[in-house]
Each structure stands twice: as C-alpha cells, then as structure tokens.
Chain A
C-alpha cells in the first residue's frame, strides 16, 4: 500500500532545490474515544480472594453460553447444574474449566520438605499427556473425558459441555461450545485511507545498537523526515501510533542489586533509568508529530498484575509537554475514527501459549476472541487484580481490530463470526528482534507489515531501508 502510493509520485530526491516546498498535513483524527475505563483501578484493596472474580465470570458468561448451547444443540436441550445431574441422562452443563497439570509450577510443592524438590527450571510449555480437565460450576466439580481436546484448553475458560455422567462419576463429553463472538457494531465507512501504526517490543536499554537504528528509522518515517515526497505523503496518512508494550528490554529488570551487598550497589543506577530517558526522547520526537498511545508491557515500570496501569507521566518530562502523548492501560480499548480497537501487550497470549498445545500466537488470539475472554488464565497463572464486582476481561462487544503485542513473528487475519462479525486479528511482532511494525488501514481493515533494517558497518552502502510489503 505504502510503496505503491509512493511510486506513483514523481521522484524528487537528488534534484536541485526548488522554490516551493511541498508540505503535507497529517490527517486529523476526527473522533477518538478512550474506552479503557473498566481497566483503570482506583483504590486498590488486596484483602480479597480470587473466588470473586471466578464467581462473577461464571455468572456473567452463563447467559451467553446458554443461548449458544440452545443455538447449536436445539432449543429443547436441558441445561443443568452439576448437582442436578442424573447418570446416563444427556444434558448440557455450563461451567469453568480447570486443567490439572502435573508440570505446572506450584510454590507449595517447591517449598514442601517431604518432596525434596529443587525449583523447576522454567520451560516453554507446561503441557503433559497426563493433564486432566475438570469442570466447575458454583457448587461442584466433575472430571471431563471424551471428545474434548485436553491439551488445547486452559484453566479459566467458561464453556458449555454436552454429554452425560458415567457411573464412574466422570462426565463423558460428546460436544462442547464456547460463547463465540460478542455482537459487533458495523464498522464506519471512511472515505480516505487512514493508517494506525502498531509497534511493540521496542526493547530500549537492551544493550543492542541495531534496534536503535530501526527505532530511529521508524520515528523518521512516521514524522515524515524520511523518503521521497511520495513516502512523506503516505506517512501523513498515519493518524495514530500505538506502542503496545515492552518499551524497555527485559535486561533492565536485572535483580543483581537485590542480591549484592549494599556497599557494592550504592552508586549503581537501575538500568531502567537510562532506558526511560531514551524512551522519553523517542516519545518526544513522535508525539511532536502524531498522537501516540503508550501501553505498558511485561518489563515496563508499572504494576505486574493485569490490568496494568498507565506509566506515570513524571517519567517523561520532555514528552508530556505534548497533549498528543497518551499513557494508557494494558489491555487498551479505544475507538479511533469509529473503528474499535482492543489489544494487549501480549502477556495473555504468551501465558496461554505456555499452558496449551496451540503453537501459533495468532491462533491463540483468535481462540481468546471465540471464548469471549481476553485472558482466561488470569488469575490462575497470570497475575490479576482481585476484582469482585465484575470481570472486566470479558468482551462486552466485539472489536473491529484485535491485537496483541510482542509475538515472535507478524501475523494478521480476518476472522468472521457467526453473526457476520468481521474482526482483524493482528499479532504485532517484537520490534527489537524482528524490526517489523504493523500498519492497519482503517478504511479497508487490512494490515500490512513494515520492516526497518540497516546493514552493518562492513557493507559499503549503509542504511538501505526496506519499506512496504
């Protein structure tokens, strides 16, 4: 998209200076609303258990599942609670899934003296052929067996199973269904091409110099300081930039200073201080030219539990002078020019990746959309705030663009729902390793990767950058 537009205009580089300078006005954002209010936490109280969030999750999701079950298996299907089950009778039960995994790291097993276990090294996947699925509703739980893919599902999913209880006390599953997609408002019809740039995993403070060149190229392209008039004209169509998490590299989180003696570490600065200064300068350049939304990620200086609160503006003294800089929560929900965006910095997807057999991050993203829950593994294996009133991670409505950051590679897909919903799924890759960002076209709801790279100093011609598909 970008490069075709650019190629159409006449080449003006390497020509004598002209009297008139071409100026390109950036497309104004006609409407923007930040709807992340459910993810903002006011006063936080941690003197609660997590039973509340599971109870509200089940109560909120139950009506969706009951209607889906009736839709798939006939209106006459019997929906029963676990305490009302009769052996041999075919019926449908709605409940929360729990996967009992022997390899799941358990702090109790680690510190228990009778097992004499050494702490388990972190693995990439904790699935095992011996995993078992257990369905829990408000009062009871029952083991599931039958035609259900144990390795694919994760704890915390709310689903409806169709089957019957065996005499052994286990539930034999014949079929199961999820809540599927929520209702969606039709996307607006835009007249011009407008782009939103999605970047994640800038990884500042990581010590590698190559990614800094890529970051600077990205900033230059977006602010229109790079390329021919054609590219500058295309860059003017970028109406917003969303930085989806992991702005700092995980190297900035070193814990050496905690283990060493105080006299050795007194004068050392945390690695994140330098990295945040670099980030502030980059944000200053970006926000002077384009509205920027900054989402925190796993390695950023904000709280660990989901929903992560926005980074504090005191860390960015230079960039906060501009009102175009918006520090937002993770997960982030907004309506940009009528197109609904919803996305996370990737912790939910990578946590499901660890406990499920699904390999592709885009597939996991699609699965969370079908289950109608942004991160079902919170609070089991992913840290979460102990909500009690509602579970804010349930999709109230279906977004038009659903993204997750910090995936190992770029992926994008149009997913169609049962009620004609159309969602663009985008897996935004980690910029520090792939040097790739994503351009989402709001008019056609299509996504295109855009990669920035520079050759090393051994090459004679430096800085040849690759734009476009």
Chain B
C-alpha cells in the first residue's frame, strides 16, 4: 500500500524565504527568491504537472542564472510600473512605448527563450490575482 496519502500531497510545495522588510523603496529590493520547488512524483507513479527542475533544460539553450537574475531585477524595478498580471515582454513593450527606456538586454533574453514560462512570466505568475 505504501505510505498514507494526505490531501496536502496534491498541493504544490512552495518554499518561501522572507525578504528583509522596511527598506527604502528607492533602492531595488533584494531578491525574494520565490521560485516553486520541483515537485516529486507521488506514490502511484503519476508525475506532477510542474516538472521544471533547475539545471535540467529540455530546450537546447541552457538558462543562465544570471539571465534569470536580470529578469528578476527588471520585474522589481519600480520605474516600469507594476509587474504582476502581464508577461515580461508585455511590460517591456509598455515601458518602451511610454519612453521609459527599458534595458535592451532584457528584451534579448526574452527573445532567446520564447517558450520558457520561467523567462516569459513575471515572478508572481503562479500566484492568483
């Protein structure tokens, strides 16, 4: 039979690291590190939906940690407006249209990995509204 299955096994496991509170909003906030942890396969052998595991890439190009860091900093920059609810590419285009001069490196990274959800969506994409 294996171990008893709990209802909480079906929930995604998320580990959160608390960022330091109360810093001035003028500087960029330190990284909050909210990437969802890879989910394990449960007892009956069914793979979970989220199969993104850091370091193992089905795409030919590997995703650099530095690139992810760059995108995270782009998300947290207050000058370009709110980042939740829209993809990073949409936010980049909006910033460009309004004349805020977003960094072109971000656009290049976004163009190099068109299908990867970790690249295209913002930090808080997995959380609902």
A residues with a Cβ closer than 8 A to B are 47-49, 51-52, 55-56, 59-60, 83, 138-140, 386, 388-390
A56 touches B98 (CB 8 A): yes
A51 touches B26 (CB 8 A): no
- Min CB distance B104 to A, Å, is 19
How far apart sit A59 and B86, CA to CA, in the bound complex (Å)?
Answer: 18
B86 touches A52 (CB 8 A): yes
The verdict on A388 contacting B25 (CB below 8 Å), with A55-B81, A56-B81, A59-B98 known, is no
B98 touches A48 (CB 8 A): no
B85 touches A55 (CB 8 A): no
Closest B residue to A63 by CB, please name it: B99
- Min CB distance A159 to B, Å, is 20
Q: Which B residues, 26 to 43, have Cβ-Cβ distances below 8 Å to chain A?
A: 26
B26 touches A139 (CB 8 A): yes
- Min CB distance B78 to A, Å, is 6
The dominant DSSP class at the B interface is loop
Q: Which B residues, 63 to 98, have Cβ-Cβ distances below 8 Å to chain A?
A: 78-79, 81-82, 84-86, 90, 93-94, 97-98
Please provide the 5 A-B residue pairs with the shortest distance between their CB atoms, ordered closest to farther. A48-B85, A55-B81, A51-B82, A139-B25, A59-B98
B residues with a Cβ closer than 8 A to A are 24-26, 78-79, 81-82, 84-86, 90, 93-94, 97-98, 100, 128-129
Closest A residue to B97 by CB, please name it: A389
Residue from the set B82, B93, B94, B97 with the largest chain A CB neighbour count within 10 Å: B82
How far apart sit A347 and B86, CA to CA, in the bound complex (Å)?
Answer: 29
Closest A residue to B100 by CB, please name it: A59
Residue from the set B81, B97, B128 with the largest chain A CB neighbour count within 10 Å: B81
B85 touches A388 (CB 8 A): yes
Residues of B within 8 A of A386 (CB): 85
How far apart sit A59 and B78, CA to CA, in the bound complex (Å)?
Answer: 12
| Cβ-neighbour of B26 out of A48, A56, A83 (below 8 A) | A83
Residues of B within 8 A of A390 (CB): 97
Residues of B within 8 A of A139 (CB): 25-26, 78
Residues of A within 8 A of B84 (CB): 48-49, 51
Additional A-B contacts beyond A48-B86, A49-B85, A138-B78 (11; CB < 8 A): A48-B85, A49-B84, A49-B129, A52-B82, A52-B86, A55-B81, A56-B81, A59-B98, A60-B98, A388-B85, A388-B94
